[in-house]
Amino acid sequence: MTKKITYKDAGVDIDAGEALVEKIKPAVQSTQRSEVLSGVGGFASLVAVPDGYRKPVLVSGTDGVGTKLKIAFEINDHRTVGIDLVAMCANDVLAVGAAPLFFLDYYACSQLQPDAAAQVVLGIAEGCRQAGCALVGGETAELPGFYQTGEYDLAGFVVGVVEQDAVIDGRKVTEGDAVIGLGSSGVHSNGFSLVRAVVDRAQMSLEATPPGFEKPLGQVLLEPTRIYAKVVHGLLDKVEVRALAHITGGGLLENIPRTLPNGLGVRLTAGWPVPPIFQWIAEQGPVEPQEMLRTFNMGIGMTVVIAEEQVTRALQMLKNSEMEAQVIGRVVPVGADEPRVIIEGVV
């Protein structure tokens, strides 16, 4: 008699999925907001728009972690990539002034490993707490034969809310406005295909600690993306912010212009703190300075454009929030054929 085949025989373990749910329940509950009407467990999640908005606008964003996950696989450390996932989405909606409201994740793998998956989701929950949004649901998919054994992919989706007349779209930016740079925590979650190529060329173990570093290379690279939501919203309550840019793929050169009116650019002066990992990448590649600037954040995770007369107040508020920040440039007029980001000095 032919042996009957089960879903588990085909590579999908429903029991493992249920075990994962039990592991993550407390962390998910810790992210909940009063607006959540029904969250994890149903076919869909219900979240009310917060009270106090006259004309609320919902703002959505989606992203992943990219090949940074390969670093996590190699050193078997999955604790922080969930923070990256939330950060990449929350920082994007923040760029128009939205407060992150709720988040959903998608975790896909060949065969579910509850311990590793739980680490990931615990990281997602931590990211949600940092961003102030609720983790209201997600999807865990086992796709046997689709992913390599022991690997997974992540995607996330955030919805934020902003008052319609408080949307930050760059239209108020004028010549002479100050550009404040908010410090990054490291590489964040962009450019890891290049990072991994440099690591391979350097023949450096991720477990090794490069000269001048305080921890192994793999841990430096896994430093989670900084989440700016709470700090920036504290700033929005006190000063007029005219533009915000999340410095992701494309670096300062490509992301700042996305937030400026036509005919305006920025002139930046190098000299802000640059995490040592960027010098290591540039030297070990070697990678040309322009390529570094087009690929990585180079120590600035978000830029804030404000009127010059509000700089002192803004910097004091950021200091009180323990956020690394300084004026890195000014808004300047640019011609149609001129670069919109000019950097003076060596980053």
Show the tokens assigned to 86.
């939330």
**Is 310 domain-assigned?**
yes
Please write down the long-range contacts of 75-79, taking CB distance under 8 Å and 24 or more positions apart: 75/206, 75/207, 75/216, 75/218, 75/219, 75/222, 76/116, 77/218, 77/219, 77/222, 78/116, 78/117, 78/119, 78/120, 78/123, 79/119, 79/122, 79/123
Nearest to residue 158, comparing CAs of 190, 122, 130, 134? 134
With tokens 């709470």, the residue in question is 230
| Segments of 221-299 assigned E as strands | 241-246, 264-269
Looking at the structure, do residues 105 and 155 belong to the same domain, yes or no? yes
**Is 54 domain-assigned?**
yes
pLDDT 10s digits, 85-110 = 999 999 999 999 999 999 999 999 99
**Is 172 domain-assigned?**
no
The whole-number pLDDT of residue 42 equals: 74
Looking at the structure, do residues 157 and 186 belong to the same domain, yes or no? no
Find the DSSP H helices in 203-345. Answer: 217-221, 229-236, 251-255, 276-284, 289-295, 311-320
Residue 216: Cβ-neighbour burial (10 angstroms; 0-12, 13-18, 19+): middle
| Segments of the chain assigned E as strands | 36-38, 46-47, 56-64, 99-109, 134-142, 152-163, 178-183, 241-246, 264-269, 300-306, 325-333, 341-344
Averaged pLDDT for residues 253-261: 97
Gap between the Cα atoms of 180 and 330, Å rounded? 9
With tokens 């173990």, the residue in question is 205
Looking at the structure, do residues 306 and 215 belong to the same domain, yes or no? yes
**Is 43 domain-assigned?**
no
3-state helix, strand, coil in the chain (%, to 5): 35, 25, 40
Q: How many domains does the chain have?
A: 2
Beta bridge partners, 64, equal 155
> Which residues, at least 6 apart from 23, have a Cβ–Cβ distance to it below 8 Å?
114, 115, 118, 121
Looking at the structure, do residues 158 and 236 belong to the same domain, yes or no? no
Looking at the structure, do residues 232 and 128 belong to the same domain, yes or no? no
Looking at the structure, do residues 20 and 121 belong to the same domain, yes or no? yes
Give the pLDDT band of residue 27 (cuts 50, 70, 90).
confident
Looking at the structure, do residues 20 and 98 belong to the same domain, yes or no? yes
pLDDT 10s digits, 213-241 = 999 999 999 999 999 999 999 999 899 99
Looking at the structure, do residues 159 and 239 belong to the same domain, yes or no? no
Whether the pTM exceeds 0.85: the reply is yes
**Is 292 domain-assigned?**
yes
Gap between the Cα atoms of 196 and 131, Å rounded? 29
**Is 121 domain-assigned?**
yes
Gap between the Cα atoms of 75 and 171, Å rounded? 45
Give the pLDDT band of residue 3 (cuts 50, 70, 90).
confident
The whole-number pLDDT of residue 14 equals: 66
**Is 339 domain-assigned?**
yes
Domain CATH number, residue 56: 3.30.1330.10
Show the tokens assigned to 108.
């896909």
Looking at the structure, do residues 324 and 187 belong to the same domain, yes or no? yes
Domain boundary pick from 166, 187, 203: 166
Quick check: helix, strand or coil at residue 330? strand
Gap between the Cα atoms of 235 and 319, Å rounded? 11
Above 70 in pLDDT, residue 17?
no
pLDDT 10s digits, 281-305 = 999 999 999 999 999 999 999 999 9
Residue 343: Cβ-neighbour burial (10 angstroms; 0-12, 13-18, 19+): buried
**Is 8 domain-assigned?**
no
Whether the CB-CB separation of 99 and 233 falls below 8 Å is answered with yes
Domain CATH number, residue 335: 3.90.650.10
Report the share of the chain in percent with pLDDT over 70.
95
Nearest to residue 343, comparing CAs of 265, 263, 247? 265
Above 70 in pLDDT, residue 196?
yes
Domain boundary pick from 166, 198, 220: 166
Domain that holds residue 162: 14-34+50-166
The whole-number pLDDT of residue 1 equals: 63
Residue 104's CB: how many other CB atoms inside 10 A? 22
